[in-house]
């Protein structure tokens, strides 16, 4: 029986990063994966969706070439080629993870892993054979999958999840997207840009419901401007797939209505992959579909750890990676600080993009905080106007007494690349006045951060 210092179960952005950090720290490491290295994020999530979205953006640029004084005639798209490019990008990234495993001398074990007592794992290979492995420390990083609603059972053809949405054989003429979180609005943007008629159905009163209400309202306006129909406070109560397409019954405050489409995309959240992996046999505690861990990802059973989507933290790739690194560093005996879950950025890659960190204005008020709020629209930004992307704004929230940066919320072109300024500043406990006195380059989209802060302190220049 092979024995390791660390075995990681699952090779997503939490698992493979944890394995690499363990190897860097001199720990004999193995990783177990039943599918492709890189997990869902790399193969069927974060990366391939961004490739699709980039194709949609280029297509939209070409269709609006005249807005930039250019001419491009007979513009069309090849849907199959767009999907193929996305898959090629994902495949290349997965090969990159394979290279990193070899580089760091991490043993890759292919098969389905099941935990056993005594810090052991049984791995069932494709041929059905079972091999037992042991480790001083086992890290569970099995991730999550598309959640299914009883009223919306996925058949992979007419009612699909994100995985099928990435690789459809042909482009649907009409699509209903159920759920307006990051997955829902990203696919809604892509398919609409490609020419599909899209309707977004959201159960809550606001789309992208975890975001600041001003962000939600702006995105709603932007989506409607592109032709996407948005239904809020609406629920899909049943679907009929017996005909050629799908008939979805939607319950709203005004009564029921039936929408017809070729395909319904269910984007109503995720379900953790914790079934049949041996948690019960080992005695690892769970609660509401999550594995319970302490600040350094130790479960209730010594030697068994858990990171990523299977734990109660935010289900984001960068969170899983950060947790994996901290988990391994704690195992190696390093002195580390627990992750600050109040300073985790969230990004949505529709168009316009959304990026945020910290408290929303509503949350800050509910906590009884005395706040200063600043806002700067990209319509007043020279770079945004010159780029043809004036939609959106930057909104900042500060504690009025101490100047603490409580929250930052952005919607606009490229804002997912801008949010890190707020994350780092909050980590360093930077005040609003310090941001004001930090010179931002002109002309850039990032100037809007400084201008929004200036607005909060009644010093805004360009508004």
Q: What is the pLDDT of residues 173-208, one digit of tens each?
A: 999 999 999 999 999 999 999 999 999 999 999 999
- pLDDT for the residue 337: 96
- Topology (CATH level 3) of domain 159-268: FAD/NAD(P)-binding domain (3.50.50)
The answer to whether the peptide bond before residue 352 is cis (omega within 30 degrees of 0) is: yes
Q: In what order do the strands lie in the sheet with 255-261?
A: 235-240, 246-252, 255-261
Residue 118 has pLDDT above 90, yes or no: yes
Residues facing 407 on adjacent strands? 358, 397
Please, what is the average pLDDT of the chain?
A: 95
pLDDT of residue 46: 87
**Which phi and psi (to 5°) does residue 377 adopt?**
-80, 145
- Class of 352-456 in CATH: alpha beta
E-assigned strand segments in 222-327: 229-231, 235-240, 246-252, 255-261, 263-266, 270-272, 286-287, 290-291, 304-306
**pLDDT at residue 40 greater than cutoff 90:** no
Mean pLDDT of 47-76: 93
185 is in an annotated binding site: yes
Per-residue pLDDT of 316-374, as tens digits, reads 999 999 999 999 999 999 999 999 999 999 999 999 999 999 999 999 999 999 999 99
Residues of the chain within CATH 3.50.50.60 domain(s) are 2-146+271-341, 159-268
CA-CA distances (angstroms) from residue 52 to 105, 110, 182, 189?
33, 29, 14, 10
Question: Per-residue pLDDT tens for 365-403?
Answer: 999 999 999 999 999 999 999 999 999 999 999 999 999
Percentage of the chain beyond pLDDT 70 is: 100
pLDDT-derived band at 1, boundaries 50, 70, 90: confident
What pLDDT shows up at residue 317?
94
State the DSSP code for 459: -
DSSP structure class, residue 232: -
The annotation status of 181 as a binding-site residue, yes or no, is yes
pLDDT at 237: 93
**Residues near 337 by Cβ (< 8 Å), separated by ≥ 6?**
none
84 belongs to an annotated ligand binding site: no
Query: What confidence score (pLDDT) does residue 168 get?
Result: 92
pLDDT for 238-248, tens place per residue? 999 998 999 99
**Delimiting residues of CATH 3.30.390.30 domain(s) in the chain:** 352-456
Q: Which residues are catalytic?
A: 442
Annotated ligand binding at 313? The verdict is no
Architecture of domain 2-146+271-341: 3-Layer(bba) Sandwich (3.50)
pTM: 0.93
């Amino acid at each position: 029986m092979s024995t390791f210092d660390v075995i990681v179960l699952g090779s997503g952005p939490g698992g493979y990063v944890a394995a690499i950090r363990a190897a860097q720290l001199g720990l004999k490491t193995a990783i177990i994966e039943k599918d492709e290295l890189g997990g869902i994020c790399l193969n069927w999530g974060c990366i391939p969706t961004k490739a699709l979205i980039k194709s949609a953006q280029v297509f939209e640029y070409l269709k609006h070439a005249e807005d930039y004084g250019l001419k491009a005639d007979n513009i069309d798209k090849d849907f199959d080629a767009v999907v193929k490019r996305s898959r090629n990008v994902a495949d290349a990234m997965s090969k990159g993870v394979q290279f990193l495993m070899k580089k760091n001398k991490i043993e890759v074990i292919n098969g389905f892993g099941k935990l056993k007592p005594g810090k052991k794992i049984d791995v069932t290979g494709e041929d059905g054979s079972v091999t037992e492995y042991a480790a001083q420390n086992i890290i569970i990083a099995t991730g999550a999958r598309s959640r299914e609603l009883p009223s919306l059972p996925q058949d992979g053809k007419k009612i699909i999840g994100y995985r099928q949405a990435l690789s459809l054989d042909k482009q649907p003429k009409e699509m209903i997207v159920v759920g307006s979180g990051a997955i829902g609005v990203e696919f809604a943007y892509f398919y609409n840009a490609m020419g599909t008629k899209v309707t977004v159905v959201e159960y809550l009163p606001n789309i992208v419901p975890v975001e600041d209400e001003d962000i939600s309202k702006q995105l709603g306006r932007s989506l409607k401007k592109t032709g996407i129909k948005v239904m809020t406070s609406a629920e899909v109560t049943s679907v009929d797939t017996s005909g050629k397409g799908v008939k979805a019954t939607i319950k709203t405050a005004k009564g029921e209505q039936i929408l017809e489409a070729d395909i319904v995309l269910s984007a109503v959240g995720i379900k953790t992959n914790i079934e049949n992996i041996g948690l019960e046999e080992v005695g690892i505690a769970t609660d509401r579909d999550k594995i319970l861990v302490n600040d350094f990802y130790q479960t209730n059973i010594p030697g068994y750890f858990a990171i990523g989507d299977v734990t109660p933290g935010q289900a984001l790739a960068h969170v899983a990676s950060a947790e994996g690194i901290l988990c391994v560093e704690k195992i190696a005996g390093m002195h580390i600080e627990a992750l600050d879950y109040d300073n985790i950025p969230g990004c949505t890659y529709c168009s316009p993009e959304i990026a945020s960190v910290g408290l929303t204005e509503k949350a800050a008020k509910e906590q009884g905080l005395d706040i200063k709020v600043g806002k700067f629209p990209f319509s007043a930004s020279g770079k945004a106007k010159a780029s043809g992307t004036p939609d959106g704004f930057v909104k900042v929230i500060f504690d009025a007494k101490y100047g603490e940066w409580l929250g930052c919320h952005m919607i606009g072109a490229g804002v997912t690349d801008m949010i890190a300024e707020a994350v780092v500043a909050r980590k360093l406990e930077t005040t609003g006045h310090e941001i004001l006195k930090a010179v931002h380059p002109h002309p850039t989209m990032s100037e809007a951060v400084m201008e929004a802060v200036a607005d909060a302190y009644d010093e805004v220049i360009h508004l």
